[in-house]
Amino acid sequence: RGMQHVMQAYTADGRIADDMTMLVLQTPAEAAGAREWRFEMPRAMTQLKALHTFVEAHGRDGGLDEVQASALALAAVELASNAVRHGGHAEDGGPLEFIFRAAPDACQLELFYTGTPFSPPRTLAPDFSGGSEGGFGLFIIRESCDAVRYGHADGVNHATLVKRLHAALAASAGG
């Protein structure tokens, strides 16, 4: 996954002896009405606005209304912020890689990054008394999405955020 992997495959693992600026545009086959966009960012808090813009725009393109797209973008920023703060150091951890998929019934954002394994608590009880300076990010993520999944394999953390379209929610509720 990621730009470096694509470049290595393209060059048959040959070394590139010069500095390089890389842009990889992938246009996957659109299966069953699904569309996909990719976004890669350095591990830097300064990149969070670009991520927010990316998620919100593609959420709207994928059929989410303004409120839903904003909620998914907020969850994405919290997720990336946690990865930057707690997932390892920027200089040795590589970029954060996002894949946004829009299907007829839902939008899904996946995050892949190398770093410290992360396993969230089963239950969240944020402290709203003012005595805590943190711990709200996971709560915001869960409250902003319809489904959230985390995993870790071979040194790579993987998180998935899902936001169902209002039409799909209404159909599943029978109205």
What's the whole-model pTM score? 0.75
* Stretch 125-152: mean pLDDT: 82
Which residue did the predictor score with more confidence, 57 or 25? 57
- Looking at residue 73, its pLDDT comes to 98
- Looking at residue 115, its pLDDT comes to 86
Give the whole-number percent of the chain exceeding pLDDT 90: 51
Summarised one tens digit per residue, pLDDT across range 5-15 is 566 666 665 66
pLDDT at 41 over 90: yes
- Looking at residue 137, its pLDDT comes to 86
Q: How many C-beta atoms lie closer than 10 Å to residue 20's C-beta? A: 7
Give CA separation, 55 vs 25, 99, 100, 110, in Å: 17, 10, 7, 11
Which residue did the predictor score with more confidence, 135 or 104? 104
